[in-house]
Amino acid sequence: MRLPNLLATRLGRLTAFFFLYVTEGIPLGFAATAVATQLRRQDVGPAEIGAFVGSFYLPWAFKWAFGPFIDVFTSERLGRRRGWILGTQIMLIVTLLACTGLNLPAQLGVLTSVLLIHNSFGAMQDVAIDALAVNTLHEDERGLANGVMFGGAAIGTAVGGSGVLFLMPMIGLSGGFVFVAACIALVTIFIVLPLKEAPTPAAEQRAAGLGSAVREMKHFSMEAFRSFLGTRGAYAGLFFALLPAGAMSLGLALQSNLAVEVGMDDDSVAWLALWTNVISAAAMVIGGLLSDRWGRRKTLFVYLTLMSLPVLYLMGVLTDYQWIMPTSGKDAVKRVAAPALVTAIWVATLAYSVAQGLMYGTRSAIFMDVTNPKVAATQFTAYMAMMNLAISYSATWQGIAAEALGYPKTLLIDAIFGLVCLAVLPLIKPSATPQGDGGGASRARQMAAVLAAGCLVWLPYKAGLFNAGAAAPIYETLFTLIFVASAVFLAAGAAVLGDTARGLGRAGLVAAPFLLSMYLRKWGPAESFVYYLVPALGAIVLAAQARLGWQVLKVAPEPA
């Protein structure tokens, strides 16, 4: 029997993107719920678990680096986006199966390294899926489709988290890796293989050859640079994406840590995670529908505000019962939680899942509204990547704060910090002139100045002039973002500047790969003069570019 091409109909498109996002959610749920729960039971601390979960999301924070390659290097025979999805899903299966022989928690470092590779392919798959969505979904489908897509991710998270926890007595953790790999394989066979993309219009077809690819990359970089800085809505989207999407603590490892500490067994944790994801999935669809009807910014403002309420409620209950600091299996006296405290965790987590689901069904659609379809895989993916960076650093700081400050104060900080993004939300709206509003020049100068300052701040940090202490992983992640963003800005900016500032453009091209290589410092020598020289040179070039006129961005280009 020949399976249908799901991209041909509205229902088919919604179905396809639902299952594609299921494959994204399954590994995340497996790591953040099933693996994290077992680690806490084996007395691994909240800070170490938070760092593990944070590192799991880290490749997704830089997935926008794959965007230009996915947009430029395509195959008409396999499908412009389908070929990438197919290849990455195969590698997801391979890397999961490679983890079956590991011994936890003794080999947690090895598992983290393998899952970093796994998630690099997962991030690459996500880029291709999002680009396929931008290019195939009709405008009146986007709100509902985003709700359905993130609903699929929530269901996938439930399968990978709750499903594996339920099966744990029968298959063990190693069997969990096989189970997750098998679920992805089913989607590959029954959803991805039958997909047929529309042929790429002749005007958009890429010629073959390395030289042609280089020219395409240069042209593409210019288009992407203009898209991010050309309109106020697209530019504001960068900052909105970097901030936490509301309070996050009840959706990350902190919640599962608490569940284990108050005495919930694997089945109870699994049921909590299952109901959380089912409710969240339904709320995602509802949130998308409501945003299409009443406006994305208005509804998103309400959803983000609601996310802080369950967090504040749980903070109050934990304070009342004096459940302040994380417990340990080494404690002389084992604490026993009151039934009312366990109930409060259920109530807070389920209420939070409603608000979080409503938010997820809307937040991605608002980024689609300010994305240039010509560079969809890069621009939209960059927004999604920055959202994942926010998840990564949130999981990391919350684990550190829980051990240093206790659970109630951590929840309070999370509830307040989660509302900061509301200040940026009103600025994110489609421009009347999508090709550019003439303000790109000033935005380019602002961005160059901010990145230059970030590179300079690294120097005293690296020299040890201020001690980050336990927060060092958070600082390292943020500096990595600065270095990678600086490299991309300088490389793409050189193409945009062209002959108007050839010397500074070339200097930027030279500095870009060295700044990008700073991403690898974790695996290099602990001390090297290069760690000071490269950021200093990058800061000098960026500061000089911050003084340029960027005339090419002052006038919006004519539509193609």
Distance CA 381, CA 367 (A): 10
Place of tokens 């880290």: 58
Question: 209: pLDDT confidence band, cut at 50, 70 and 90?
Answer: very low
Least confident range from 162-176, 185-199, 462-476: namely: 462-476
364-381 per-residue burial string, b: 16 or more CB within 10 A, e: under 16 = bbbbbbbbbebbbbbbbb
Question: 436: pLDDT confidence band, cut at 50, 70 and 90?
Answer: low
Distance CA 449, CA 526 (A): 28
Question: 208: pLDDT confidence band, cut at 50, 70 and 90?
Answer: very low
Average pLDDT over residues 47-75: 75
Average pLDDT over residues 464-489: 83
Asked if residue 207 has pLDDT above 60, the reply is no
The mean predicted confidence, pLDDT, of the chain is 84
Task: Tell me which of 326 and 94 has the higher pLDDT.
Answer: 94
Asked if residue 126 has pLDDT above 80, the reply is yes
The percent of residues in the chain predicted with pLDDT above 70, rounded, is 90
Instruction: Determine the Cα angle at 248 with ends 242 and 249, to 5°.
Output: 140
Distance CA 90, CA 97 (A): 11
Distance CA 299, CA 68 (A): 32
Average pLDDT over residues 532-556: 88
| Helix 376-405, helix 407-417: angle, nearest 10 | 150
Average pLDDT over residues 242-250: 91
Asked if residue 189 has pLDDT above 70, the reply is yes
CB atoms inside a 10 Å sphere around CB 411 = 30
Asked if residue 200 has pLDDT above 70, the reply is no
Cα separation of the two ends of the chain: 43
- Give pLDDT, residue 550: 86
Cis, bond preceding 105 (omega within 30 deg of 0): yes
Task: Tell me which of 458 and 550 has the higher pLDDT.
Answer: 458
Task: Tell me which of 522 and 404 has the higher pLDDT.
Answer: 404
Retrieve residue 108's tokens.
């947690």
Q: For CA atoms 23, 27, 32, 34, give the dihedral sign.
A: positive
Task: Tell me which of 478 and 346 has the higher pLDDT.
Answer: 346
Q: List the beta strands (DSSP E) in 375-450.
A: none
Average pLDDT over residues 497-514: 85
Question: 203: pLDDT confidence band, cut at 50, 70 and 90?
Answer: very low
Question: 559: pLDDT confidence band, cut at 50, 70 and 90?
Answer: very low
Distance CA 255, CA 342 (A): 12
Task: Tell me which of 212 and 170 has the higher pLDDT.
Answer: 170
- Give pLDDT, residue 560: 42
Average pLDDT over residues 146-152: 81
**Residue of 394, 289, 305 whose CA lies nearest to 352:** 305
Least confident range from 93-97, 215-219, 304-308, 400-404: namely: 215-219
Instruction: Output the pTM of the full model.
Output: 0.76
| Helix 46-61, helix 108-136: angle, nearest 10 | 40
- Give pLDDT, residue 214: 62
513-526 per-residue burial string, b: 16 or more CB within 10 A, e: under 16 = ebbbebbebeeeee
Asked if residue 180 has pLDDT above 60, the reply is yes
Least confident range from 7-21, 183-197, 509-523: namely: 509-523
Contact yes or no for 489/483 (Cβ under 8 A): no
Task: Tell me which of 58 and 243 has the higher pLDDT.
Answer: 243
Average pLDDT over residues 90-98: 94
Least confident range from 294-308, 343-357, 469-483: namely: 469-483
199-216 per-residue burial string, b: 16 or more CB within 10 A, e: under 16 = eeeeeeebeeeeeeeeeb
Instruction: Compute the residue count for the chain.
Output: 560
User: Looking at residue 62, what DSSP letter applies?
Assistant: T
Asked if residue 217 has pLDDT above 70, the reply is no
Asked if residue 127 has pLDDT above 90, the reply is no
Distance CA 20, CA 156 (A): 10
**Residue of 505, 504, 449 whose CA lies nearest to 482:** 449
- Give pLDDT, residue 329: 60
The dihedral region occupied by 263, where left means phi > 0, alpha psi between -120 and 50, and beta the remainder, is left
| Burial zone of 442 (CB within 10 Å; 0-12 exposed, 13-18 middle, 19+ buried) | middle
5-35 per-residue burial string, b: 16 or more CB within 10 A, e: under 16 = ebbeeeeebbbbbbbbbbbbbbbbbbbbbbb
> In terms of C-beta distances under 8 Å and separation of at least 24 residues, what long-range contacts does 454-458 make, across chains too?
454/479, 454/482, 454/486, 455/482, 455/483, 455/486, 455/515, 455/535, 455/536, 455/538, 455/539, 455/542, 456/535, 456/536, 456/539, 458/482, 458/535
